[in-house]
Amino acid sequence: MPVDASHLSSFLDEYSDAPGFELTYTDGGAERTELLHDMSVLQRTVDRPSAVPTAECTPVSPAADDFTIPIGDIEMLSIAEPPVDLYTATAETPEETAIGLRRLASVNPEAVRVASVLALLDTAHEDTADSHTRDRAALDALRQVASVRSEDCTPAIPVLRSLLGDADPEIQLGVLATLSHLGRHDPTAIAPLTDEIRTALASSDSRVRGRAARCLAEIAADHPADVVAAVPSLAAVIEDDLDDAPYAVFALSRVADPYPDEVKPVVSTLAETAVDDAAHEQVRLNATAGLGRVVGEYPSVGVELVGDLIDLLDTENDRLRNNAIGVIGDVAIVHTDVVEPYIDVIAPLLDDDDEFARVNASGALSRVAEDFPDSVAHLTPTFVELLSAESPVVRENACWALGLLGAEEAESALAERATEDDDANVRERATWALNRI
């Protein structure tokens, strides 16, 4: 029983997820009751001193028009769960049926019959205002159902495919939003639509491009080969800083894993994302993962990136730091001269608490030691300590570095590793280091 607009607004906010409302109000002196799908306070009537605070009401019946009511005329408002059949029982046209199903899906998606929605979409032939209203409402209903019952909506894929080429961006958005839900449940189900989805990446509507990127990200998770042709368009989504750019980054990282050569042309786009402090950490992780795969295959690609990636070595995110030093280490496979100026920045990671950081840092500096032993020589005591590291990879890298440095003071420690280490690779590398010394 609202006291004023603020009281009503607080109630509606508290029960924003209610399936519906029962409204009792006075109209011309008569008491009326209405089942509502939704209700909201019209803020403009509250802000104007001379206006009467008013609420806008959307009835459950799609055949009934929205109406407004002075808040002072409301006698009582209560939570209600309208019977499912009321959402469509009074519908007199396909458009009203679609609106009713959309309203039902928004509050009770479990109750929507997918076949009823598909029957509406399967008649999508004419190009009229009413047909567009029907298609948009039906697609919105299907999207909401797919978000919780994706397995029930896979029969809709042929119809969605036929609608994907519609000139109306709102129709395309509805199709792509539904497909992204289906793809999250089963990427294989929407993979055959890759070409059509890729075409949507060229849309003039940025929202359509973003939704298409979401769909391709779902496909790329299990079928990266299908997304290879979309690499340039996905990079453009990132470069244009669209809201859905994180999905494009993920898609590129997945494609880069088996096809680093295909992602190589857009590696600078991934690099910009990796060093972007404003980007979400998981997005940056995906970007560095993609970078690592490409640079691991083509170290020269990372030459221009080292200066920026070095700044990530003091980040608090262990995984991001590890990915960055991993990429730098890959560059050092061929271009030790590019990494050599940053030895003292990398060196603290040799004592990092994270094992992967120690593995990647010791590997990078060992490679630099081969061409620039004098620059790395001051780290000899640290490498000797690393011979006792828990990680066999770190111990192996330490042997490698000490051998390249010709570290005579490490002979006894290396001899112990060569005979007593429980890892064969460490024993072999320690013997190699002793022979080199």
Q: Which of 282, 314, 341 is the last residue of a domain?
A: 341
Position 123 confidence tier, pLDDT thresholds 50, 70, 90: low
Q: Token match 């497909």: residue?
A: 179
Q: Residue 35 belongs to a domain with what CATH number?
A: 2.30.30.520
Q: Tell me which of 20, 55, 82 is where a domain ends.
A: 82
pTM of the predicted model, to two decimals?
0.85
44, 180: one domain: no
Domain count, the chain: 2
Largest Cα–Cα separation, the chain: 104
pLDDT tens, 109-118? 999 999 999 9
H or E element: which one contains 163?
Answer: helix 157-163
Query: Are the C-beta atoms of residues 90 and 64 closer than 8 Å to each other?
Result: yes
Say yes or no: 75 and 161 in one domain.
no
Last residue of a domain, one of 341, 375, 408: 341
Specify whether the CB–CB gap between 376 and 365 falls below 8 A.
yes
- Whether the pLDDT of residue 124 is over 80: the answer is no
- The per-residue pLDDT for range 62-102, each reduced to its tens digit, is 988 999 999 999 999 999 999 999 999 989 999 999 999 99
Residue 211 near residue 219 (C-beta atoms within 8 A): no
Contact 339, 368 (CB under 8 A): yes
DSSP character at residue 390: S
Q: Is 365 in a helix, a strand, or coil?
A: helix
Quote the CA–CA distance of 350 and 252 in Å, as a whole number.
Answer: 31
Give the pLDDT confidence of 303-317 residue by residue, as tens digits: 999 999 999 999 999
Is 296 within the bounds of a domain?
Answer: yes
Neighbours of 109 (CB within 10 A): 18
- Distance of alpha carbon 252 from alpha carbon 292, whole angstroms: 12
Give pLDDT tens digits for 244-286.
999 999 999 999 999 999 999 999 999 999 999 999 999 999 9
Give me the domain span that covers residue 40: 5-82
Closest by CA to 290, choosing from 277, 310, 311, 305, is: 305
Q: Residue 115: how many CB atoms within 10 A of its CB?
A: 11
- Per the CB < 8 A criterion, the answer to whether 217 and 182 are in contact is no
Does residue 122 sit in the same domain as residue 247? yes
Give the span between the Cα atoms of 139 and 119, in whole angstroms. 12
Cα–Cα distance, 344 to 299 (Å, whole number): 21
Strand, helix or coil for residue 224 = helix
Q: Do 98 and 64 sit in the same domain of this protein? A: no
- Map residue 182 onto helix, strand or coil: helix
Distance CA 205, CA 237 (A): 12
pLDDT band at 126 (very low <50, low <70, confident <90, very high): low
Specify the DSSP element, H or E, that contains 68.
strand 67-70
Handedness of CA 241, 247, 248, 254 (dihedral sign): positive
